[in-house]
């Protein structure tokens, strides 16, 4: 996702790069098929092209979590939250991963934060370049 955005009629619009979106589609397909290694490579390719792509950071973390690499997944969730501290899904997923590592209270706190953010978030709007 492009880091550019603009306001129009009190809504934030983010411009999407079709090339990046095509890679996201391929990566998501791999992930859904359980081909986590290829999905991880594709998400990292996105980061190579857009070094601040929060969706890619979160996707990498999600794949690593599915692969059982919970500690590394937490590093990527934290990286995503550095750039987008109000991302409800990232907070929630981080909490679920923390709980898998035995950090029950910290995980529950993150889950609650994710739910709270989701309850108050406006719906996103996207434009394709």
CATH value of 5-128 in 3.40.50.11540, 1.10.10.10, 3.30.460.10, 1.25.40.10: 1.25.40.10
Task: Check residues 86 and 125 and name the one with the higher pLDDT.
Answer: 86
Ordered by start, the domain boundaries in the chain are 5-128
pLDDT at 9 over 50: no
Q: Which token pair is 69?
A: 């690499």
Q: What global pTM score does this model have?
A: 0.83
| The pLDDT value given to residue 5 | 45
Q: Tens digit of pLDDT for each residue in 46-104? A: 999 999 999 999 999 999 999 999 999 999 999 999 999 999 999 999 999 999 999 99
């Amino acid at each position: 996702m492009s880091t550019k955005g603009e306001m129009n009629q009190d809504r934030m619009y983010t411009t999407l790069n079709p090339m990046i979106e095509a890679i996201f589609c391929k990566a998501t397909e791999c992930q859904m098929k359980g081909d986590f290694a290829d999905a991880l490579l594709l998400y990292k390719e996105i980061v190579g092209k857009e070094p601040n792509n929060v969706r890619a950071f979160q996707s990498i973390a999600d794949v690593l979590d599915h692969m059982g690499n919970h500690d590394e997944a937490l590093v990527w969730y934290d990286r995503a939250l550095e750039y987008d501290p109000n991302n409800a899904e990232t907070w929630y997923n981080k909490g679920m991963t923390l709980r898998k590592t035995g950090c029950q209270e910290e995980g529950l706190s993150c889950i609650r934060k994710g739910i709270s953010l989701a309850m108050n978030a406006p719906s996103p709007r996207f434009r394709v370049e």
